A = this chain, B = another copy of it.
Amino acid sequence: MTEGKRQGDNIYQVSTFSALLDGVFEGEVPFSIVKKHGDFGIGTFNKLDGEMLAVDGEFYRLQGDGTIREVKEDEKTPFAAVTFFNPSLTYRIQENGTKEQIEQFISSILPSENLFYSIRITGSFRSMKTRTVSKQEPPYSSMTDVVEEQDVSTFKDCKGTIVGFYTPRYVQGLAVAGYHLHFISEDKQGGGHIFDFEIESGTVEIGEHANLQFVLPKTKEFLEADLMHGKMAEEIEKTEG
């Protein structure tokens, strides 16, 4: 192992997921900086104004009204995780599978549940159920309250790309343990945070990550956030599905 090699498998994360849960919806980091650390990833925007998905160096903003546009350099994020996508495992999916089945399949082939993995699934989907969060105004309530009013869309028979991460359980709260996946349709007309899907066929690509960089905000809201309240695991399940 050399240090140089390790840089290639870096995941760069802004803030913690528990801060988002606690209503810390404004961060200091612009996407001009996020883009320096990856060409692939997921996240959100200040005021929780849309879901972020990055793939092949293109950063998209999946908005609450169902539209998608490119992310501007000066837009900021309260939570994002990115990497330079460099898959080391590739699998073909040739029979129908639900989100649960695909996640179980991926878990069965991951070399270890103790590392981080970037996951891209390109395919044809019989159905895809996503949500997009919408712009909030201060004083912010918790994300758990916000997602009760979220916009949920179901797409039928569409092509598109899933982007996301597998995160080990021992970092629950700091990140989202397990699978955290966003979707964008091939025609760039729809997408969001994934609740459920059924895939018809496609390709799963997986990158392995053992080098993690977390950048915490120094905003008043983050410094004062309750990042360790008792129901965190439940709330992550509730907000992230």
Chain A residues close to B by CB (< 8 Å): 1, 3, 6, 16, 18-19, 28-29, 33, 36, 111-112, 114-116, 168-171, 173-174, 210-218, 222-225, 227-228
**A228: chain B residues within 8 A (beta carbon):** 168-170
**A36: chain B residues within 8 A (beta carbon):** 3
**A18: chain B residues within 8 A (beta carbon):** 170
Q: Are A216 and B210 CB-contacts (below 8 A) given A3-B36, A169-B228, A227-B170? A: yes
Contact (Cβ within 8 A) B210 A215: yes
Contact of A223 among B115, B116, B170, B174 (CB under 8 A): B115
**A114: chain B residues within 8 A (beta carbon):** 19, 216, 222-225, 227
* Beta-carbon nearest neighbor of A1 in chain B: B28
A30 to B3, CA, bound (A): 11
Contact (Cβ within 8 A) A216 B211: yes
**A169: chain B residues within 8 A (beta carbon):** 227-228
Contact of A174 among B1, B115, B174, B211 (CB under 8 A): B174
